Amino acid sequence: VSANEYKEALLAARDDIDILLAESACGPLMVRLAWHDAGNYDKNLASEKWPIAGGATGSIRFAPEINHGANAGLINGVKLIQTHIKEKHQLISYADLYQMASSRAIEYTGGGPSLGIRYGRQDVDSPDGCQKEGNLPDGEADPDTGNYGGTSGTASTEDKTPGGHLRKVFYRMGMNDEEIVALSGAHSLGRAYHDRSGLGAEQTKFTDGSTTTQKFANGKVTPFHAGGSSWTEQFFVFDNSYFIVLDDDTSDPELLKMSSDKAVFKDDDFRPFAEKFRDNKDSFFESYVKA
């Protein structure tokens, strides 16, 4: 295909993704889907033959990867993209569609920055391209061992502290401390669910569907399925509220703060970035885009 044809196909897919995001309120799920497809990247394997180093290759759509513990619930996102977008936009890879859905959930429904991402990712075409389990971060330590990482083949990311564990996971991807803190701010969106990660409450006053209203960044009220614990009150809006709430001891106790989240203020080298993002939304956006 010509560059122009490809561009037109991308724009058409984007229109349908925008409709899907607005109608099914799946934006946060898409951000997590794209991140988990990409976040197994290992820079130490970068010189190996593609797709050994992992990254955004669409491998998450196959078992066994989709059944990894960290990916609980993401099958719903895979199915939404498959049936609503991919079947109509065959030209675009799954890997690109996942990243596009994430980017639109941040910019379009979320009101966040334009990520300016580039497209043209190639998909792996079979489960042989799946990544090994254990490359993604833990929000809480194993209650028996006190270790973050380590329960599912993640020995290389094991650590007694959340900050140490996050560094092992994110440094392997080639990220630095500022990028770890900025990317953590994606928890401005979405929720943790009891029947997925097992973290947080069954539901809270923000997620029970009866007491609060959820809005997209354009002010339009969005219906959503009840349940889970959100990090922020408006969990379809992408802004720096995650950092504001996290650093506020008087914030509503029904908002979620995992140990890995708290680390962005508790860890001495993370804290300056968390404070900067708390105080300045534009600086958060700038660092998030870069990361």
CB of 122 to ligand HEM, least distance (A): 22
Number of residues counted as binding ligand HEM (CB under 6 A)? 23
Q: For the window 28-47, what string marks contact with ligand HEM as x by the rule CB under 6 A? A: xx-xx--x------------
The amino acid at 198 = G
CB of 201 to ligand HEM, least distance (A): 11
Q: For the chain, what is the largest distance between any 2 Cα atoms, rounded to a whole number of angstroms?
A: 56
Place of tokens 């669910």: 193
80 near ligand HEM, judged by CB under 6 A: no
Structural tokens at position 69: 């513990």
Does residue 36 have an active-site annotation? Answer: yes
**Residues 274, 265: contact at Cβ < 8 Å?**
yes
Indicate the residue among 91 and 164 with the shorter CB distance to ligand HEM. Answer: 164
With CA atoms as reference, report the closest residue to 140 among 259, 263, 255, 36: 259
**Residues 20, 80: contact at Cβ < 8 Å?**
yes
What residues contact 151, with CB distance under 8 A and at least 6 apart? 69, 138, 142
Considering the candidates 36, 84, 89, 187, report the single residue annotated as catalytic: 36
Place of tokens 């797709």: 51
Provide the CA 40 distance to its chain's centre, in angstroms.
12
CB of 104 to ligand HEM, least distance (A): 13
What span, in angstroms and rounded, lies between the C-alpha atoms of 165 and 279?
26
Q: For the window 119-138, what string marks contact with ligand HEM as x by the rule CB under 6 A? A: ------------------xx
The C-alpha angle 22, 224, 89, rounded to 5 degrees, equals 35
With CA atoms as reference, report the closest residue to 237 among 61, 132, 108, 149: 108
What span, in angstroms and rounded, lies between the C-alpha atoms of 75 and 191?
16
Indicate the residue among 244 and 289 with the shorter CB distance to ligand HEM. Answer: 289
**Pick from 86, 89, 172, 196: which binds ligand HEM (CB under 6 A)?**
196
Q: For the window 135-174, what string marks contact with ligand HEM as x by the rule CB under 6 A? A: --xxx--------------------------x--------
Q: For the window 219-258, what string marks contact with ligand HEM as x by the rule CB under 6 A? A: ----------------------------------------
Q: For the window 173-192, what string marks contact with ligand HEM as x by the rule CB under 6 A? A: ----------xx-xx-xxxx
What residues contact 40, with CB distance under 8 A and at least 6 apart? 54, 55, 131, 132, 135, 136
Q: What are phi and psi of 109, to 5 degrees?
A: -75, -30
CB of 8 to ligand HEM, least distance (A): 28
CB of 124 to ligand HEM, least distance (A): 21
Structural tokens at position 218: 């354009």
Span of 4-12, 17-25, 194-202, 243-251 interacting with ligand HEM by CB under 6 A: 194-202
The binding site for ligand HEM (CB under 6 A) comprises: 28-29, 31-32, 35, 73, 137-139, 166, 183-184, 186-187, 189-193, 196-197, 199, 260
Which active-site residues does the annotation give? 36
